[in-house]
A and B are shown apart, each in its own frame.
Chain A
Amino acid sequence: MNKTATCELLLFVSGEAGLTLSELATLTELSKQACQQQIEHLQEKYQKDGESALTIIETAGKYRLSSKEEFADILKNYAKTPLNQSLSKSALEVLSIIAYKQPLTRLEVDMLRGVNSSGVLSTLRAYDLIEKQGELEAPGRPSLYGTTEFFLDYIGINDLSELPEVDETEFLAEKQVLFGEENTENLANEELSKEEEERENQ
């Protein structure tokens, strides 16, 4: 029994659920390191083979057998899995607030957005992107929300520490323009044209 083939087989069967390195190691009876090498070997093999549509990606700490990027357009109409669906603007806003400030309550999300978020929260829960993570020791015992493992997979990272950070320098410059008392005309115009560009690109 070829070990590379065994790895490929296990990844194929697990599909979108994927397998962690230690699960793979247990099943193939290899060391974790050897497993890692096998996976890299497989990845290389797929990469070289122009006649293969497969690749292996690592998200949320699991390896998953998936199609290569360049086939996305062909599959777009065929597959409508939650992972390949985009969220609405409001759902994204709520999701990012929860991702960065978790665990937090619905009220805290509402305060930050200035609008009621209960509908969006139930959507995100249905998609398994967020979950209840206990209750706050406060009157009314409100639920605390946090992100799930699927959220990591959804945005294609392995760990919350990989979340993108706000570019503070740019952010502060913009802040001075918007809220500062100083009259920074040039900066303002630059920022505005940048914003307009962004809008056009969207």
Chain B
Amino acid sequence: MPQLEVEGKAYEVDEDGFLQELDKWSRDFAQGYAAIEGIEGVLTEEHWKLIDYIRNYYTQFGIAPMIRKMCKDTGLSLKQIYELFPSGPAKGACKLAGLSKPTGCV
């Protein structure tokens, strides 16, 4: 499996860059990965609000939240989510949050 080096640490990722060892996630990983994903500068409070929300939801329910749920609970519109994470809630936010790759007919 490919390795990705973030902030001097190596992580196992799949070919799309999704973390394969979910327990290795840390805030440093998210911040380091954001630079690779084309998000400029340090992650803002709003970025973290979404990332933390996704991680909490995943810990509680074992799945990524549905978009509507995500928007409703965080108060962010889908448009705002795309402004924060240009590749979108799944490929962007969930990837930084260290969730497994979205599946199904995407």
Say if A and B assemble together.
no
